[in-house]
Amino acid sequence: MQKVQHFKGKIFLCEDSKTSRKSLMAYKTEPLEVGFEQTFLSSFHYLNFTPEEKKHLSKRHRDLLNSYRQINPFALNADALKLVEQISHCKGSKLKIEANDYGAYICLAALYSGKLPQDKTIEFYFEKSPIALFPKTLLKNQICHSHKIIFRLSEDCWLKPFSSLYQHDKIKFYLKAA
């Protein structure tokens, strides 16, 4: 029996002087029920996978991608506003925030909302999130020049064989091998 994959994400505030990480948000939900036809490879044609990427695209990957495609932008925006509020209450002027999976989407929505404090220097580190599927409707504003995005790509990351999933023509970030 196949293990059920949950749609999840975490966001951590990392203190520069300490090695501790404070959890800002965590998200976990049951997988969405999608029609069988939504898992066909043809339903992902708009992602322009290379032939090599198509070879690696398993059903588990397609199910996970469907979770990202089905994200409710209103719920995502609400989560982003909660994150903006938490960041605004942070004491330091230099912040390092780590996020994975859906947590990276929350951070991106907060970044492009134009509501993050501009007097803080914030570095965002993202992992395990298909940036290519981020809803373009949430890219409302330019990000502040004092905010930076770094995308970590580890060897065991599920995105490693799918370079088209961590590319986005509107989102500028630094790619770092972990």
Question: Rounded to whole angstroms, how far apart are CA atoms 8 and 143?
Answer: 25
Q: Note whether residue 1 is domain-resident.
A: no
> Which residues on adjacent β-strands are paired with residue 148?
123
Please state, in angstroms and rounded to a whole number, the distance separating the CA atoms of residues 160 and 157: 5
pLDDT at 83 over 50: yes
Q: Which residue has the higher pLDDT, 71 or 99?
A: 99
What is the residue range of 150's domain?
9-27+36-177
Whether residue 2 is contained in a domain is answered as no
Instruction: Tell whether 131 is covered by a domain.
Output: yes
Residue 58 falls within a domain, yes or no? yes
Does residue 42 fall inside a structural domain?
yes
Q: How high is the pLDDT of residue 87?
A: 93
For the residues 51-80, what does the mean pLDDT come to?
88
The answer to whether 110 touches 80, Cβ cutoff 8 Å, is yes
Q: How do residues 102-117 score in pLDDT, each as one tens digit?
A: 999 999 999 999 999 9
Residue 156 lies in a domain: yes
- Please check whether residue 141 lies inside any domain of the structure: yes
| Model confidence pLDDT, tens digit, residues 13-53 | 886 555 678 888 887 665 555 555 555 666 777 788 889 99
pLDDT at 137 over 80: yes
Domain tally, the chain: 1
Asked if residue 3 belongs to a domain, the reply is no
C-alpha 156/C-alpha 47 separation (Å) is 22
Chain-centroid distance of CA 52 in Å reads: 24
pLDDT at 127: 93
- Mark 128-152 as b/e (b = at least 16 C-beta within 10 Å): bbbbbbbbeebbeeebbeebbbebb
The winner for highest mean pLDDT among 30-34, 43-47, 78-82, 140-144 is 78-82
Can you give the pLDDT at residue 117? 92
Burial tier of 102 (Cβ tally within 10 Å: 0-12, 13-18, 19+): buried
Distances in whole angstroms, Cα of residue 153 to Cα of each of 9, 84, 114, 175: 16, 25, 27, 7
